[in-house]
Amino acid sequence: MKARAAVILAAGKGTRMRSPRPKVLHEVGGRTLLAWSVALATDLRCERIVVVVGPDAGDVSTQAARLVGAENVVVQREQQGTANAVDAARGRVADFPGDMVVLYADTPLIPATAVEAAFAEVAATRGVCVIGFEACVPGGYGRLILGPEGDLERIVEAKDATPVELAVSFCNSGIMAGPAALMYDLVSKVGNENKQGEYYLTDVVALARGRDLAASATPCAEADVQGVNSQAELAAVEAAFQSRMRERSMTDGVTLSAPETVYFSWDTRLAPGVTVEQHVVFGVKVDVAAGARIRAFSHLEGAQIAEGAIVGPYARLRPGAVIGRDVHIGNFVEVKNVRVGEGAKANHLSYLGDGDIGAGANIGAGTIFCNYDGYFKYRTVIGEGAFIGSNTSLVAPVTLGPGAYIGSGSVVTKDVAADALGVARGRQIDRQGWAKTFRDRQSARKKAGDKPEGAV
C-alpha cells in the first residue's frame, strides 16, 4: 500500500447554521464534525493530515492544531472554491510521495470502507477517483457523468448543468482521491470560467481526462455522505448516527428496551449482554461490561461500569465514576470521581463526589460527600463493609475504616476507626406534654385575634 495523506477542508463559514459556534465545531455523537474527519483520516492510516481553515478561523484553528499539529493547519486566504482550498495545502502535501484524499469537515459519517474503495481505484489506475452516490433528490448536487464503459467523464455543478445532465441522479460527494503529485499538478490548471467565478475541484476530472488519464467513481450510500450546512441538517445527521449506533449495539448483543429513546456518544462501549432501559443518555467515554443493567432515565459520562452492576433508574454518573462488579447505584444518586468497590450499594438520593467506597459498603439514603470548600476539593474514603446511616454528611477529607458504622443524621468531620460507631449529631431531648401545651396556647391566641409579633 502506498503512503497516504488527507486534506480536510474546514474553511467554510457556515452562515446557514446561524450560530456563534463555527460549523465544524458543532457535534454529532459528542464529537465535533472536524474531529470526525480527522478520525476518518487516521483510520485510513494517513501519514500526513492537513486541515484547511479560513482566515478568521479562531477556535477551529485551535482544535485543528490539537488534532493534527499546528504545522498541519493551513489557511485559505481567499475563499474562492474547493480547488482553491486544496491548493492552500500545497506546501504541505504537493511533495508527498504517495496518494491523497480530499475530505470535508462537515461530512462526519463517511465509512472508511468507502474511501478505501477510492484508494483501491487510484492504486489500480494511477488516476483520480471520486466517491459518488445515488441521490433520492439530486437537487443542487454536482452530477457525475459516466462514459459507456462506466468511467467518469466529467463532473458538472448543478448551476452549470444542462437539463439532460440535471436528470442524472448519480451525484458527487466531493470526496476525491489520487496521487498527491498528480492532484496538485491538475489543481494548478483549474480555472474559474464558470457562473460562480470559483475554482472547482471537480474540474480536476476533466483535466485528467484531457491528458488521457483514468478517472473513476466509486459508489456509497447517500446517508454516508450526508453533509451539515444548517441546524436541521445537523439534527438529521445526529439522528442517522444514533440509528446506526442502536442497530450496531443490538446486533452486537445489547438489549435495548426502547431503542429509539437511547442516545449514544461516538465512543460508547457496551459489551454483549448489557441491558439498557428506556430514556438513557450516554455521554463520551462510557464503558459498560457484560451483564450490567442501565435502568431508565439515567445519564452517564466518563464512567466505567463492571459486570453485574445496576445503575438507576434516574442515576447520574459523571467523569471518574468507576462502578465495580455487582454494585447498585440507585435512583437519584450522583457519582463523580469515585471508585465504588464490588457489591457496594447506594440505592437512594445521594451525592458521592471524589472518593473511594470499599467493597460491600452500604450508603444510606441522603448521604452527601461534602467535597468542596469553595476553593479545593477533598476525598472521602469509606472502608470495606462500612455502613453509612441515612441523611449523613461526610465532610472531606475524611476516612471511615472497614466495618465502621455511622449513625443516621450525622455530620462527620473526623476519621472513624475500623468497626467503630461514629455519631455526630445533637442529643435528643423529649419534653413531656410540651406539644399539647403549645397547641392549646396558640389556638386560644388565634381565637382571640392575638397575633404574635411578626406573624402574617
387-405 residues labelled b (16+ CB within 10 A) or e (exposed) = bbbbbbbbbbbbbbbbbbb
Q: Which of 145, 335, 110, 336 is nearest to 227 (CA)?
A: 110
Question: Which pairs from 338-344 meet CB under 8 Å and 24+ separation?
Answer: 338/369, 341/384, 342/306
User: Is 348 in the active site?
Assistant: yes
List, in sequence order, the alpha helices (H) in 151-201: 163-166, 180-187
Identify the H or E element spanning 251.
helix 231-251
Is residue 140 left, alpha or beta, with left meaning phi > 0 and alpha meaning psi from -120 to 50? alpha
Q: Say if CB 103 and CB 119 are below 8 A apart.
A: no
| Residue in the structure block whose three cell numbers are 452527601 | 368
C-alpha distances in angstroms, 261 versus 282, 411, 453? 11, 40, 56
For 3-30, the DSSP string reads: -EEEEEEE----GGG--SS-GGGSEETT
Q: Which of 330, 410, 340, 321 is nearest to 381 (CA)?
A: 340
Q: Which of 43, 42, 56 is nearest to 11 (CA)?
A: 56
Catalytic residue from among 26, 279, 299, 348: 348
CA atoms of 33 and 59, how far apart (whole Å): 13
Q: Say if CB 217 and CB 129 are below 8 A apart.
A: yes
Q: Which of 152, 166, 88 is nearest to 118 (CA)?
A: 152
Which residues are marked as active site? 348
